[in-house]
Copies of this chain bind each other. A is one copy, B any other.
Amino acid sequence: MTLPTGVHALVRRTHEDRVLQALREHGAMTRGDLAVRIGLSRTTLSEITSQLLVRGVISVSSDEAPRLGRGRPAERLTLDPAAGQYLGVDFGRRRVRIVVANAAHDVVASDAVGYDAAASWGERIAAAFDLVDRLGIERGLHFDGVLGVGIGFPGPFSPRVPHEPSEPVAEARRAGATLMRTAFAERFEAPVVLDNNTRLAGLAEATWDAAAGIDHLLYLRLSDGIGGGLVVGGRLVTGASGLAGEFGHISLDGNGERCRCGKRGCLETVASTDAILRRCTEAGVPVATLDELTDAAGTGDPIVVGVLREAGEAVGRVLGSLAVALNPSEIVIGGEIALVSDVIIAQAAATTAYELLPVGEYSPTIRGAVLGDEGGAIGAIIAIFQNSPLLAGYQSATNVAPAATPLRRSNT
């Protein structure tokens, strides 16, 4: 698929997008209903749907039951499940996870493959392409009609802000992003969206299998590092320069432990995997791995439980403060540490509830993540849906409402 360019093509793609959006949200519809809902003339709508039918992106619904006494029923149009795929790709520190959905948004394949933490971007991309080939063979998928690729990767990233390289690490990350975007766009001839994988996991928790989606969600991920994602008004918040969600570096105690970021008392110094293993060991229960920690927590060792409660308390203070500010309806805690024991989430929920005392009539749901390792890749696919499968420009659409009109003062 080669994307057309120019103003008229843009207008047409916008119309196509509205048609697909309507079919996605409402299922099969007649052309007449589509025209009314979208506000296009019947003529324009017919041109648009003809092209989409020719390209196989939509099809005529096959489950059309004849209705008595009303002649031939009006044809209903629907997204064609077999028309193509969406790829969600999550590049983690030590593995790439790929999730494949069909055009009707059913997940049809999911798998992961490991690489060395020191692997280059080129090696990671090669590993991802090998995995795609393998999934193609194992599942009989052809990937010749990929409608969009969503990519999650670690570290701060803005899908829409042109970055000014200002330090070597950030510059390398941006070079990696450009490399990935180019490699996947060339291989699949499809639009590519990129975002931070932890944020995407938050988006996935907000929308996965939910009847209506969660409009306002706070997502925190506890692992080697601590990050998160905010969903506001149904949309992922990237922030002004792509840095939104760095919850691990919210400081709770100016006199606390020194953090790798230079500050003291950051959430990461209390609730990251390393911090918890170290604190247990220092308190007299030597644990070197997550498995050992899980075992020790399972026996109810009071020192381990105490360390986990302290971590949960710190998590709850951060989540409580953010919930006072943002008023989410749901708070989700994910990551490997959340799976060690129920203690962390239970304590975090209790502390969050206390922090919400001043807004007593409001209590968000607090729960563990449900998506596990697939969250980032699934979120990457949802990011494609939210940003038009036929528009190449994630940059132009993400998270930005039309600018409000300024007021001017003439006289007062």
- Chain A positions within 8 Å of B, measured between CB atoms, are 7, 11, 14-15, 18, 21, 24-25, 36, 39-41, 43-44, 101-102, 105-110, 156, 166-167, 170, 203, 206-213, 215-216, 228, 230, 232-235, 237-247, 249-251, 254, 259, 261-263, 266, 317-318, 320-322, 324-329, 354-355, 357-362, 364, 378, 381-382, 385-386, 399-412
Q: How far is the CA of A208 from the CA of B405 in the complex (A)?
A: 8
Contact of A408 among B40, B105, B403 (CB under 8 A): B105
Interface contact A101-B407, CB-CB below 8 Å:
yes
Interface contact B250-A404, CB-CB below 8 Å:
no
Q: How far is the CA of A261 from the CA of B358 in the complex (A)?
A: 5
Interface contact A326-B239, CB-CB below 8 Å:
yes
Contact of A400 among B36, B215, B245, B382 (CB under 8 A): B215
Q: List B contacts of A266 (CB < 8 A).
A: 358
Interface contact A107-B358, CB-CB below 8 Å:
no
6 contacts between A and B (CB under 8 A): A101-B407, A207-B407, A237-B326, A239-B328, A259-B358, A322-B322
Interface contact A406-B11, CB-CB below 8 Å:
no
Max count, chain B CB within 10 A of own CB: residue among A25, A249, A259: A249
Q: How far is the CA of A404 from the CA of B327 in the complex (A)?
A: 20
Max count, chain B CB within 10 A of own CB: residue among A102, A106, A238, A326: A326
Interface contact B40-A39, CB-CB below 8 Å:
yes
Q: How far is the CA of A386 from the CA of B237 in the complex (A)?
A: 19
Shortest 3 CB-CB distances between A and B: which pairs? A239-B327, A41-B41, A261-B358
Residue of chain B at shortest CB distance from A401: B234
Interface contact B407-A355, CB-CB below 8 Å:
no
Q: List B contacts of A235 (CB < 8 A).
A: 233, 401
Interface contact B324-A250, CB-CB below 8 Å:
yes
Q: How far is the CA of A385 from the CA of B320 in the complex (A)?
A: 33
Contact of A242 among B18, B327, B412 (CB under 8 A): B327
Contact of A209 among B259, B321, B408 (CB under 8 A): B408
Q: How far is the CA of A243 from the CA of B7 in the complex (A)?
A: 42
Interface contact A361-B233, CB-CB below 8 Å:
no
Q: A167-B361, A211-B406 are in contact. List 16 more A-B contacts (CB 8 A).
A: A21-B402, A25-B405, A39-B44, A41-B44, A102-B410, A108-B412, A156-B359, A207-B407, A213-B403, A233-B237, A246-B327, A249-B358, A318-B321, A382-B404, A382-B405, A386-B401
Interface contact A325-B263, CB-CB below 8 Å:
no
Q: How far is the CA of A211 from the CA of B406 in the complex (A)?
A: 7
